Structure 1
Amino acid sequence: MSAKQLEQAAQATKTAFLFPGQGSQKVGMLAELAEQFAVVTETFTEASEAVGFDLWHIAQSGEGLNQTENTQPVLLTASIAMWRVWLNLGGIAPKYLAGHSLGEYSALVAGNAISLADAVKLVHLRGQLMQSAVPQGQGAMAAILGLDDAKVIELCEQVNIQGRGSVEAANYNAQGQVVIAGDKTLVDAVMESTKENGGKAIALPVSVPSHCSLMKPAAEQFAQALEQTAIELPSIPVIQNVNAAIATDVATLRQALTAQLYQSVQWTKTMQYLQDQGIQYMVECGPGNVLANLAKRLPNIEKAFPIDTQSRMEDALNAILVAEGKIA
């Protein structure tokens, strides 16, 4: 489907597509879909040729899958493979696209703003820069559950005063669910304070503290690569992470992608924006169902679908075609 056809088809729907970020990867992802749809392996071959190594092998074997520089291009490619399967099967074009962290790049590829080849090269570099920005073991991330946003910010500020680095809110994922990132000692301190204040804290198994000021050196280098990459405004609007808004020009889009490395992911506001625009159905286009599960908690969302297996894909295709009035 051409960019113009996608744009026209998307305008009348009440569906949004969500693309997951790092953490959704799993060994063997998309194996079942690849058996049924040749476009899956074709998409992985296209992306592998762009970055110069075998992304499908990493996805299926798990070798190096959790190294950030590999995780990011593999996940992006998996999401775009699923997007292509969806379109090939006659799935409707969504009205909006949004991606969580790394998933923003998947959304931009789906919206024809960046080519798949350019995007996988960008996120491979993004992963390398993020990995090298903070020495192994010095950074950390943790999920804080059961406290409101203001309280999480307050707990971070209390330990930051001690002058031992910084810890910040990195992902506003949902009401009562905020991920923090920063220097490991300070993340640990906020986790302890969280428990003292009646919340729950879960350390995340990541090697890089994303979306915090520790990533500013990486962002400065990454901005240069972004400037050299061909980018257009997407044919389907993409809601960007740092401001939960749609860029009206390419310069603003690039700036938001750079800032995304060291600023918070505004996922709660992104979901509110989609609800305010009348979105009723959401499809998670990537491995797993993390974003679909978050979307199911929203008051105005009637259905949220993961599509990472053939049965899930078919269920979502049929349900949304019926809901959108495309078939009886």
Structure 2
Amino acid sequence: MSLGILCSGQGGQGPGMLDLLRRDPAAQAVLDRAATVIGQDPRTLVAGPEAEMQRNAVAQPLLCAVQAATWAALRPHLPPVRAVAGYSLGELSAYHVAGALDADELLRLAMRRAEAMDRADPEPGGLLAVRGLDRARLEAICSDCGADIAIENGADRFVVGGHRPTLAAVEQGVLALGAAVTPLSVTIASHTRLMAPAAAEFSPILAASGLQAPPLPVLAGIDGTPVYTRERAVAALTRQMTETVTWAACLDGLIEMGCTVLLETGPCNALARMAAERRPGLAVRAVADFRSLSGAATWVERQLG
């Protein structure tokens, strides 16, 4: 029996995302440092207008700061980790959890990633969650409309990316086939062809960064296979900017690597809920489900017995 860690992506940020960290010295030290590195105190951002937290340039470093702070607080109280997987932006945080990036470098890379993505496409874009349609039919609609499948969460659960008029056309098409759609609070068409300029800009930044070969395997978002080398880490983090994130394959990969307990350490529980739906009976929870960090750590200890 072993532990796998899930690192959240964008979408879960909100005013209560630091509540569990307020009394933890290790977490507060990371947030102090984050304020210096990113030039804005995460605690001030979280206390400010919620709309500001949704801006890509703010959301990416903020979420990475919260992930790093949460991990600093939790890590001493958890058993050894078998593998790590991160959803979208969370894949960058996963390399921090795995020991391949220190917190400062994580935040610097998150800032540069967000800047590159904001510059990549001047036309407003976004993401649309689609549920209840198989991949073949959804791909046909996307092809007709000029959209891309950004994330695969399951056999009939996807996220589509594109410009806003394109997403409106996709929404019409999938609704006509009886599927359900949910617009996501993201302003960038992540994991689509529209991010090709961002990938071209970010790749040499990654290559010149302090990213190391991960001491723990990190599952590549593009195919769910474990990454062990620095070269593949750079390639995987670059490719996921323009290619479909196969999150379903990442969850399956964690199970195949022997992870019997999964803990989501970001500010929400979306990944834990998806894992529970995909693998009924699996021991999976999110830190956000608990009233304290110690409660989360105690739950993990009990599951691993």
TM > 0.5 fold call: yes
Say if 1:170 and 1:265, in contact at 8 Å, map to a contact too: yes
Q: What is the correspondence of 1:1-328 to structure 2 with a 5 Å cutoff? A: 13-34=1-22, 36-62=23-49, 64-88=52-76, 90-137=77-124, 139-159=125-145, 166-299=146-279, 301-308=281-288, 311=291, 313-325=293-305
RMSD over equivalenced CA pairs, Å: 1.7
Aligned partner of 1:9 in structure 2 is: none
Q: 1:308 to 1:300 in 2, by over 3 A?
A: closer
Say if 1:219 and 1:261, in contact at 8 Å, map to a contact too: yes
Tell me the CA shift for residue 174 of structure 1: 2.4
Say if 2:91 and 2:221, in contact at 8 Å, map to a contact too: yes
- Matched length: 304
Distance 1:126 1:104 in 2: 12
Structure 2: gaps (5+ residues): none
Q: Percent identity?
A: 25
Tell me the CA shift for residue 107 of structure 1: 0.9
Q: 1:92 to 1:248 in 2, by over 3 A?
A: closer
Which amino acid is 2:94 matched to?
A: A
Which amino acid is 1:26 matched to?
A: G
Distance 1:288 1:19 in 2: 10
Q: 1:295 to 1:79 in 2, by over 3 A?
A: same
Distance 2:45 2:80 in 1: 30
Which amino acid is 2:226 matched to?
A: I
Residues 186-222 of structure 1 deviation map (CA, whole Å, 9 limit, x = unaligned)? 2211111111111112222221111100000111111
From the CA coordinates, give the structure whose radius of gyration is larger.
1
Residues 2-52 of structure 1 deviation map (CA, whole Å, 9 limit, x = unaligned)? xxxxxxxxxxx4221100011111124113421x21222211111222223
Say if 1:242 and 1:266, in contact at 8 Å, map to a contact too: yes
Q: Structure 1 runs of 4+ off > 4 angstroms? A: none
Tell me the CA shift for residue 309 of structure 1: 6.7
Which amino acid is 1:153 matched to?
A: E
TM-score (norm 1): 0.87
Deviates more, 1:147-156 or 1:299-308: 299-308
Distance 2:38 2:198 in 1: 20
TM-score (norm 2): 0.94
Say if 2:214 and 2:228, in contact at 8 Å, map to a contact too: no
Q: What SS does structure 1 have at the residue aligned with 2:227? A: coil
Which amino acid is 1:134 matched to?
A: D
Say if 1:50 and 1:118, in contact at 8 Å, map to a contact too: no
Which amino acid is 1:244 matched to?
A: G
Q: What SS does structure 2 have at the residue aligned with 1:169? A: strand
